[in-house]
């Protein structure tokens, strides 16, 4: 039986503030990461530290995909008369519902020094507040 010692690195990435919507942040995230060239196989885990924003993987090439996603989630979640949690405004509870539906983390395999995303996949920040804030990501690199 052979055992291999794994290396784990963890760091924080701060994304700039954005308005409400689904935003492609692949380059912003990966430009703040360490060099992956020496990693033959590993895993990158990305966790967003907010309950009113989400992180997901989806198509990056056609911006209509992000607009359509935003419109879908707005229709599904906004302006519900039964929402009681409105302490921070009318977007408060819809933001939490959208974040719950879309999720707070993603995992991306690393293969031969590259993130092994599909051809059309990119990292999407769901900013669910009308006026967004800078958002913190905790990134864990395992190899």
- Read off the pLDDT of residues 14-57 as tens digits, 9 standing for 90 and up: 999 999 999 999 999 999 999 999 999 999 999 999 999 999 99
Residue recorded with tokens 């967003």:
48
Domain presence at residue 61:
yes
pLDDT, tens digit (0-9, with 9 covering 90-100), for 82-134:
999 999 999 999 999 999 999 999 999 999 999 999 999 999 999 999 999 99
What range does the domain containing 39 cover? 8-142
Domain presence at residue 1:
no
Q: Are 10 and 140 in contact (CB under 8 A)?
A: yes
CATH of the domain at 56: 2.60.120.460
Q: What are phi and psi of 69, to 5 degrees?
A: -60, -45
Q: Domains in the chain: how many in total?
A: 1
């Amino acid at each position: 039986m052979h055992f291999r010692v794994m290396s784990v690195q963890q760091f924080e990435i701060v994304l700039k503030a954005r308005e409400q919507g689904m935003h492609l942040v692949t380059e912003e995230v990966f430009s703040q990461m360490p060099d992956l060239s020496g990693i033959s196989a590993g895993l990158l885990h990305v966790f967003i530290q907010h309950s009113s924003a989400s992180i997901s993987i989806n198509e990056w090439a056609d911006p209509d995909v992000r607009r359509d996603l935003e419109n879908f989630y707005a229709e599904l979640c906004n302006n519900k008369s039964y929402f009681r949690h409105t302490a921070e405004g009318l977007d408060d509870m819809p933001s939490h519902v959208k974040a719950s539906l879309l999720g707070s983390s993603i995992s991306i395999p690393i293969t031969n020094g590259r993130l092994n995303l599909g051809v059309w996949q990119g990292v999407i920040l769901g900013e669910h507040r009308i006026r967004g804030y800078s958002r913190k990501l905790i990134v864990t690199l395992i190899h």
